[in-house]
Amino acid sequence: MAVVACIGALLAASTQVRCVDAAREAARLTARGDVANAVPAARVIAPPGADISVRLEGSRILATVTAGTPLLPLLELRAEAVAAPEPGAGP
């Protein structure tokens, strides 16, 4: 049982890193004005089945990625990235 818990923890850490990377990419692309490719690019990076959202909050872009873990089904991981729109970047 301890081995399964250790493997689950390692998989959760890997999943969290992928969520962080995906959120950062979605926020970055949206800030550059590449809205159409932001979520598809994040989906390539994110864990399978992750929920990805990008929204404008005030003057900031907020990207959120939420995913479950393979061996720890009750654990939900979440990452957020914030970016400021680049000058001249259109939607």
Residue-wise pLDDT tens digits, 5-63:
788 888 999 999 999 999 999 999 999 999 999 999 999 999 999 999 999 999 999 99
Query: Does residue 54 fall inside a structural domain?
Result: yes
pLDDT interval class at 72 (50, 70, 90): confident
Average pLDDT of span 69-91: 86
Task: Tell which wins on pLDDT, 40 or 90.
Answer: 40
Q: Is 23 part of any domain?
A: yes
Does residue 56 sit within a domain?
A: yes
Domain that holds residue 52: 2-83
Task: Return the exposure string of 41-75: e unless at least 16 CB atoms fall within 10 Å of the residue's CB, then b.
Answer: bbbebbbeebebebeeeeeebbbbbbbbbeebeee
- Number of domains within the chain: 1
49 assigned to some structural domain: yes
How confident is the model at residue 33, as a pLDDT? 93
Residue 67 included in any domain: yes
| Three-state secondary-structure class, residue 77 | strand
DSSP 6-35: HHHHHHHHHHHHHHHHHHHHHHHHHHTT-H
Does 91 map to a domain? no
Say if 89 falls within a structural domain: no
Q: Tell me, yes or no, whether 88 lies in a domain.
A: no
Mean pLDDT of 60-76: 92
pTM: 0.89
